[in-house]
Chains A and B, each alone.
Chain A
Amino acid sequence: MIASILATAAQIVAGSTVRWVGCAPTEEQRIYIANHSSHLDFIVLWSYLPSWLRRRTRPVAARDYWERDGVRRYLAAHVFNAVLIDRTAAQGTAPGQLGRQAVDQMVEALSGQHSLILFPEGTRGAGEGVATFRSGLFYLCQAKPDVEVVPVYLDNLNRILPKGHLLPVPMLSRITFGTPLRLQPDESKDAFLERARQSIRTLKEAA
């Protein structure tokens, strides 16, 4: 109920044209990766998935943002079923441990039926380019090599709600789903991350 109201509201604000150019929506387990430039990104991408797919797709989001108040905590836990990961280390944590924890959480989330929505840039950019990807995506694919990675390009959402603003200007946007990719057996970390990043940039140029 809350989910469908939120999804409709997000669709009204974003007015997206959705194109599945490289694949079709399926029940198969997937990792959707998208460029990140607006607070709207995740909810809009989520809202434009068919509702049956929405229910089985979990966003990977930052714990510090989604646990800041009661409303967000409720939405993250009960509506979006988000996988919340820590971005800031507690005192005395060993270096690299945060990243490993996050990958473990995502791998665990994939052990069920669910697909994931992931923003591999890690943080919101200005919207001009696609920043280099964090390595979590690589380790996740190493642990789950059979799961398809679907590149998604979100166009114009950073103009609808730029960084630092609260109210959206309801312009039109576009969501393009590209051709799925998989980690190749002997592909290096940097090569894979760059290939994944380029797959989103290609969608941007084609958009």
Chain B
Amino acid sequence: MSLLHDLALQRLFGGLILVLIVATLTGRVIARRTHDERALATVRNLNARINAWWVMSVVFAISVLIGPIGAVILFGLISFLALREFITLVPTRPADHRALLWSFFLITPLQYLLVAIHWYGLFSILIPVYAFLFLALRIALSGDTTNFLERVSAIQWALMICVYSLSYAPALLGLGIRGHGMPGPTLLLFLVIVVQGSDVLQYIFGKLFGRRKIAPHVSPNKTVEGFVGGVAAATLLGALLWWATPFAIWQAGLQALVIALTGFAGGLVMSAIKRDRGVKDFGTIIAGHGGILDRVDSLTFAAPIFFHVTRFFYGA
């Protein structure tokens, strides 16, 4: 449990708890002062979200403090549940059953096993190369060619987004940084705090100042004001967390900007998928938030980009 003695981690988690306490108290105060029926619904949803944040933060903190294997198992479970939500919405046919069994019970665990043993050379191509080709073959062998391309692509997409992309978050634990060894947990925390912080800040700026819709057909709740304010604030947040990372303050700010922008892109693309499938949320597992995939949508884009940008510029 040497991570318990890591000063940077202590401070990051301490800060997180402080923010949650402030959020909880603010939520209570707003709830007491709100009497309008419609506003009250928003406030209830806000408080449900804050409560869920407590649970998610505790689960995340425990898994990170357990050590690398804890984070790998946590993200493996998140991937499994996200894949479940994704596949539920896509038009597969009975003939795809075997391919789906492979995806859930072999490819997903294998990807996380490779991440756990830091086998970069294989985990970075397992799904885009091997699973990509194998699934197409497996479904062709099933003999049902109705909407073949659509079905194959949907399953490949599900694996790329829910498993491959997300697995880059725990993969940070095995990333060597020039002059810093393997600062894994702090990199992972930096990514998760900035990407989720950016989501929350965009939500807050949107609720407070939101006027012009940024993508009315895809995600009616996203506004220009929320986007600009949230991304700027998340960039500042990232810069202010530089001391925990291997980055200089301006580098941390730039990294946070990249994380916030890619995170926004992820949220937008996943919204487009939900719109297409005619649902509001991917699931109902997290009160106030929707499904697992609704909570990690921004991470699916931010994690692989952050990993590769960091690896390119700072990798040992």
Interfacial residues, chain A to chain B (CB-CB below 8 A): 15, 17, 126, 156, 158-159, 162-163, 165, 167, 169-173
Check if A172 sits within 8 Å of B283, measured CB to CB.
yes
Q: A17-B284, A156-B88 are in contact. Are A169 and B100 (CB under 8 A)?
A: yes
Check if A172 sits within 8 Å of B84, measured CB to CB.
yes
In the complex the two chains form, what is the Cα distance from A158 to B85 in whole Å? 16
Candidates B85, B97, B283, B284; contact of A169 at CB < 8 Å: B97
In the complex the two chains form, what is the Cα distance from A167 to B97 in whole Å? 9
In the complex the two chains form, what is the Cα distance from A7 to B284 in whole Å? 20
Check if B104 sits within 8 Å of A162, measured CB to CB.
no
Mark contacts of B65-107 with chain A using CB atoms, 8 A cut-off: 1 yes-contact digit, 0 otherwise: 0000000000000000000110110001010010011001100
In the complex the two chains form, what is the Cα distance from A15 to B100 in whole Å? 16
The distance from the CB of B89 to the nearest CB of chain A, in whole angstroms, is 9
| Highest count of chain A CB atoms <10 Å: which of B92, B94, B105, B284 | B94
The distance from the CB of B79 to the nearest CB of chain A, in whole angstroms, is 13
The distance from the CB of A16 to the nearest CB of chain B, in whole angstroms, is 10
Which 9 A-B pairs give the minimum distances between C-beta atoms? A162-B94, A169-B100, A172-B88, A171-B88, A165-B97, A171-B87, A170-B84, A17-B284, A162-B97
With a cutoff of 8 Å between Cβ atoms, the chain A residues found around residue B283 in the complex are: 172
A-B contact pairs, 16 of them (CB 8 A): A15-B84, A156-B88, A159-B88, A163-B94, A165-B97, A167-B101, A167-B105, A169-B87, A169-B104, A170-B84, A170-B104, A171-B84, A171-B87, A172-B85, A172-B283, A173-B88
> What's the A-B contact tally at a CB cutoff of 8 Å?
29
In the complex the two chains form, what is the Cα distance from A172 to B97 in whole Å? 15
Contacts A156-B88, A165-B97 known; 12 new A-B pairs at CB < 8 A: A17-B284, A159-B92, A159-B94, A162-B97, A163-B94, A169-B101, A170-B84, A170-B104, A171-B87, A172-B85, A172-B283, A173-B88
With a cutoff of 8 Å between Cβ atoms, the chain B residues found around residue A163 in the complex are: 94
In the complex the two chains form, what is the Cα distance from A158 to B97 in whole Å? 11
In the complex the two chains form, what is the Cα distance from A169 to B99 in whole Å? 10
With a cutoff of 8 Å between Cβ atoms, the chain B residues found around residue A171 in the complex are: 84, 87-88
With a cutoff of 8 Å between Cβ atoms, the chain B residues found around residue A170 in the complex are: 84, 104
With a cutoff of 8 Å between Cβ atoms, the chain B residues found around residue A126 in the complex are: 94
In the complex the two chains form, what is the Cα distance from A158 to B96 in whole Å? 12
In the complex the two chains form, what is the Cα distance from A116 to B88 in whole Å? 29
The distance from the CB of A192 to the nearest CB of chain B, in whole angstroms, is 32
With a cutoff of 8 Å between Cβ atoms, the chain B residues found around residue A173 in the complex are: 88
The distance from the CB of B282 to the nearest CB of chain A, in whole angstroms, is 9
Mark contacts of B106-149 with chain A using CB atoms, 8 A cut-off: 1 yes-contact digit, 0 otherwise: 00000000000000000000000000000000000000000000
Mark contacts of B186-216 with chain A using CB atoms, 8 A cut-off: 1 yes-contact digit, 0 otherwise: 0000000000000000000000000000000
With a cutoff of 8 Å between Cβ atoms, the chain A residues found around residue B92 in the complex are: 159
With a cutoff of 8 Å between Cβ atoms, the chain A residues found around residue B100 in the complex are: 169
With a cutoff of 8 Å between Cβ atoms, the chain A residues found around residue B105 in the complex are: 167
Closest to B92 in A: A159
In the complex the two chains form, what is the Cα distance from A163 to B93 in whole Å? 12
In the complex the two chains form, what is the Cα distance from A172 to B277 in whole Å? 15
With a cutoff of 8 Å between Cβ atoms, the chain B residues found around residue A159 in the complex are: 88, 92, 94
In the complex the two chains form, what is the Cα distance from A165 to B148 in whole Å? 21
The distance from the CB of B156 to the nearest CB of chain A, in whole angstroms, is 16
With a cutoff of 8 Å between Cβ atoms, the chain A residues found around residue B87 in the complex are: 169, 171
In the complex the two chains form, what is the Cα distance from A158 to B87 in whole Å? 14
In the complex the two chains form, what is the Cα distance from A203 to B32 in whole Å? 39
The distance from the CB of B155 to the nearest CB of chain A, in whole angstroms, is 11
With a cutoff of 8 Å between Cβ atoms, the chain A residues found around residue B284 in the complex are: 17
The distance from the CB of A146 to the nearest CB of chain B, in whole angstroms, is 36
The distance from the CB of B246 to the nearest CB of chain A, in whole angstroms, is 39
The distance from the CB of A159 to the nearest CB of chain B, in whole angstroms, is 7
| Highest count of chain B CB atoms <10 Å: which of A163, A169, A173 | A169
| Highest count of chain A CB atoms <10 Å: which of B84, B88, B104 | B88
In the complex the two chains form, what is the Cα distance from A162 to B98 in whole Å? 11
| Highest count of chain B CB atoms <10 Å: which of A126, A162, A170, A173 | A170
With a cutoff of 8 Å between Cβ atoms, the chain A residues found around residue B84 in the complex are: 15, 170-172
Closest to B100 in A: A169
